[in-house]
Amino acid sequence: MNPPQLTGLVTGPTLCSYIETPSLQDHNDIADCNNIATRSADLGHHRYIDPQGWFEEYARTLAFLGWSLYGDAIYTRTQHIVSGSVADFLVQSAHAMNDWRQANAMIDTLDTLKNDHTAMLSFDGETRQGETFQIIPARYDSHGNLTIALHKLELNVDMKKHSFLFWDWEKRSAKIIQRKAFLKLNRSELDRKRALIKKKLDEHLMRRFTLRKNAS
């Protein structure tokens, strides 16, 4: 029997989706860097009052740890009307970019999250039922570099719901504001920061939930 496939990670206000199964080291590095970047952003900016400042501080901290802007990627701000669930919106957004691998991976990640009630409860609490949260698809590029796409989202609704990702919102009753940045990992730079990373994790470690697809 094959071991359950790793599909993603929930930690703090972030849901990571794995487009292909990462190495254990890369899985841990994603979680550790997110831990430190989230803590840094929380110390510098209010997570809910100043989501843009929070996001920029989060990205700057990742850059310091060895994640560099990928290509000519810049931060953007767009607004979308959600018809249906936020989960459907995430999958449809990947399809709109003609990225079937990301869309399929997002489906697997969301399916495993939906069945992990403890992870979902934590994600609800850390995001105030979607008031502000992050979705981070991760993959390897053609050269074997680990890359991530940061999607910072804010859900604007009249009434908050538990398991907000899967709630079927009435037409035009929900809006999403989205910011993006794309980063690539410089492993050598990250390796030079491992002592600092360990020190920061010893000071503050967030809960993390590994999402796994049931073996068939």
CA 71, CA 79: separation in Å to the nearest integer? 24
3-state SS assignment for residue 79: strand
Q: Note the pTM of the prediction, 2 decimals.
A: 0.93
Structural domains in the chain, CATH included, are 10-207 (3.40.198)
Report CA-CA distances (Å) from 166 to 48, 73, 158.
21, 29, 16
In percent, the amount of the chain with pLDDT more than 70 equals: 94
Phi first, then psi: give them for residue 204, nearest 5 degrees: -160, 115
The model's confidence at residue 1, banded by pLDDT at 50, 70 and 90, is: very low
Region 150-169 average pLDDT: 92
Return the pLDDT at 216: 46
CA 95, CA 87: separation in Å to the nearest integer? 13
Return the pLDDT at 78: 85
Phi first, then psi: give them for residue 21, nearest 5 degrees: -65, 120
Region 130-138 average pLDDT: 96
Question: pLDDT tens, 109-133?
Answer: 999 999 999 999 999 999 999 999 9
Sign of the CA dihedral 211, 59, 153, 49? positive
